[in-house]
Amino acid sequence: MKVIVLGAGSSAGTPVIGCHCKVCTEAHPLNCRTRASCYIMAGDVGLLIDTGPDLRQQALREKLHEVSAVLYTHPHADHLNGIDDLRAFCFRHKKAIPVFGNQFTIHNIEERFGYTLLPPTTHWERPVLSAHVVDEPFMVGNVNVIPIPLLHGQWPIFGYRVGNVAWLTDVSEIPESSFALLEGLDVLFLDCLRYLPHYTHLSLDQAIVLATRIGARQTCFMHMTHEVDVVEAGKSLPDSMMFAFDGQQIEIAE
């Protein structure tokens, strides 16, 4: 099994348009972050988590050619608005892509991107998706996917666990009942917006506390704003923790 970090950035991405701060102007490769998303390959199943506005560039960069399913965390623009670029995968294989999410997320997709849920035309020029509301573990091919209920401010959203990898973006609180779903992780990707607390996200300090409790072999923080210079901040993290970066790949024995 292999995980590719497509994007480790926050809603604005880093560098931020028009920003003159040190992180944005130096644009160190580790501080160039597209919008948060990842791709998990398990055998011949390729799972995409979210479709942010940078999906096209991310897919080209990582040479993605197959998406077996999309796992949606929540419908904020930085996680959803690249949905139209799924048409490339539908067109290539002439088949619909199943997309999964909680009721709130799927309803939002139906309202805002209803055209993606229509049957294909003869030319397949639109995305052709089939929407599935889920609230418990489900299979994509032979891969078991476990939705992890989270809170993003007042929104109930999902993180996802596949094998011993979990992707928990845009978290402000992990409900007590979700910790049992996070035992024995090899790799945990966890929201870590910035240094100061935020109503809908984890700060670095909060993320470290939660990562310590969950106790994954390796924790990779992600969804950082330009306020976090990961080159500097990475030096003082505990051994089992690091900042995720665009293009990061981790192989995990199944």
Binding region for Zn ion (CB under 5 A): 16, 19, 21, 24, 76, 78, 170, 226
Taking the least distance from each CB to Zn ion, the nearer of 18 and 184 is 18
Q: Which helix (H) or strand (E) holds 215?
A: none
Taking the least distance from each CB to Zn ion, the nearer of 24 and 117 is 24
Taking the least distance from each CB to Zn ion, the nearer of 76 and 126 is 76
Query: HSE-up of 229 (CA within 13 Å, CB side)?
Result: 11
Taking the least distance from each CB to Zn ion, the nearer of 186 and 227 is 227
Taking the least distance from each CB to Zn ion, the nearer of 52 and 163 is 52
What is the smallest separation between the CB atom of 158 and Zn ion, expressed in angstroms?
12
Tokens representing 236 are 């003082």
Angstrom distance (rounded) from CA 11 to CA 1: 28
Angle at 224 between CA 245 and CA 200, to 5 degrees: 140
CA distances from 167 to 21, 92, 97, 189, 231 (A): 29, 27, 21, 5, 22
What is the smallest separation between the CB atom of 153 and Zn ion, expressed in angstroms?
8
What is the smallest separation between the CB atom of 89 and Zn ion, expressed in angstroms?
22
Written as one string, the DSSP assignment of 44-63 is TEEEEE---TTHHHHHHHTT
Taking the least distance from each CB to Zn ion, the nearer of 15 and 127 is 15
User: What b/e string do you get for 205-214 counting C-beta neighbours within 10 Å, with b at 16 or more?
Assistant: ebbbebbeeb
What is the smallest separation between the CB atom of 104 and Zn ion, expressed in angstroms?
12
Q: Is 181 left (phi over 0), alpha (psi -120 to 50) or beta?
A: alpha
What is the smallest separation between the CB atom of 59 and Zn ion, expressed in angstroms?
19
Closest by Cα among 211, 249, 207, 238 to 64: 249
Taking the least distance from each CB to Zn ion, the nearer of 126 and 226 is 226
What is the smallest separation between the CB atom of 227 and Zn ion, expressed in angstroms?
8
In the block, tokens 């102007």 appear at: 25
What is the smallest separation between the CB atom of 239 and Zn ion, expressed in angstroms?
27
